[in-house]
């Protein structure tokens, strides 16, 4: 953490290198198969319609989507193809069981694809009825500068670099804390397929209801 006055919220856990290189490559293969069935699409901010700087898809029974007219929400169907999201890979269900401490399985896995200048503004994950279930996220590909703060947007923040294979858990009080991605470090990893390089993939597992 970079700032003196900042203390990481309770329930914020970083598991550096949790996934082996072999497990990371296997997950990328799964993401490619998911993407072949549920293509990446361009999400947009509610009301303004400003495109996000990441592209997205999902796997699992529910997927997180956003567009100009209907905003942030969970949907059973892909917004472009109208098909159900592909099933969640067993490796992600196993990861959730190993690190979440939550008795029920995750219902949604949001797949964010960051390119060289993509970022993610500070936000709280707040579209789930299951507000107490942890959020578990996986970093793959190029490293990123991840920022975490408090329940209020103006609360002090700190940042850390997340590398491929790192897993983050937002549980307890940290579940309601602001977080985002300042930047990625393009070109540092060759894990992703060439079509997505430079780039970073973040998988976010959530319980929705």
| Residue of minimal Cβ distance to ligand SIN | 202
Residue among 83 and 161 whose Cβ is closer to ligand SIN: 161
Question: Interhelix angle for 21-37 vs 90-99, to 10°?
Answer: 130
What's the rounded Cα separation, in Å, for the pair 208 and 177? 17
Other Cβ atoms within 10 Å of 23 Cβ, number? 15
Size of the site for Fe ion (CB under 5 A): 1
Binding letters toward ligand SIN, positions 73-112, x by CB under 6 A: ---------------------------------------x
**For residue 54, which of 170, 208, 181, 188 has the smallest C-alpha distance?**
181
Could you give the angle at the alpha carbon of 139 between the alpha carbons of 133 and 145, nearest 5°? Answer: 100
Minimum CB–partner distance for residue 177 and Fe ion (Å): 10
Helix, strand or coil for residue 95?
helix
Residue among 28 and 110 whose Cβ is closer to Fe ion: 110
- 181, 191, 192, 205: which one binds ligand SIN (CB under 6 A): 181
- 56, 120, 148, 167: which one binds ligand SIN (CB under 6 A): 120
Helix, strand or coil for residue 35?
helix
**What residues from 140 to 179 belong to the interface with ligand SIN (CB under 6 A)?**
146, 179
Instruction: Let me know: does 144 contact 200? Beta carbons within 8 Å.
Output: yes
Minimum CB–partner distance for residue 61 and ligand SIN (Å): 19
Residue among 32 and 73 whose Cβ is closer to Fe ion: 73
Q: Is 125 in the site for Fe ion (CB under 5 A)?
A: yes
What's the rounded Cα separation, in Å, for the pair 10 and 101? 15
Where along the sequence are the contacts to Fe ion (CB under 5 A)? Answer: 125
Where along the sequence are the contacts to ligand SIN (CB under 6 A)? Answer: 112, 120, 137, 139, 146, 179, 181, 202, 204
């Amino acid at each position: 953490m970079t700032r003196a006055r900042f203390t990481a919220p309770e329930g914020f856990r970083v598991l550096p290198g949790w996934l082996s290189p072999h497990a990371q490559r296997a997950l990328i293969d799964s993401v490619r198969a998911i993407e072949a069935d549920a293509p990446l699409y361009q999400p947009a901010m509610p009301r303004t319609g400003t495109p996000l700087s990441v592209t997205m898809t999902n796997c699992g029974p529910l997927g997180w989507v956003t567009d100009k007219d209907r905003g942030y929400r969970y949907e059973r169907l892909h917004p472009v193809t109208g098909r159900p999201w592909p099933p969640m890979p067993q490796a992600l269900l196993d990861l959730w069981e190993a690190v979440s401490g939550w008795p029920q399985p995750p219902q949604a896995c949001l797949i964010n694809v960051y390119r060289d200048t993509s970022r993610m503004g500070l936000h709280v994950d707040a579209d789930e009825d299951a507000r107490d279930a942890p959020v578990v996220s996986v970093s793959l590909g190029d490293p990123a500068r991840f920022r975490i703060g408090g329940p209020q947007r103006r609360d002090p923040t700190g940042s850390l670099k997340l590398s491929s294979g790192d897993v983050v858990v937002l549980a307890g009080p940290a579940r309601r804390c602001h977080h985002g991605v300042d930047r990625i470090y393009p070109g540092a990893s060759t894990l992703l397929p060439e079509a997505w390089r430079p780039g970073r993939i973040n998988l976010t597992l959530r319980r929705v209801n």
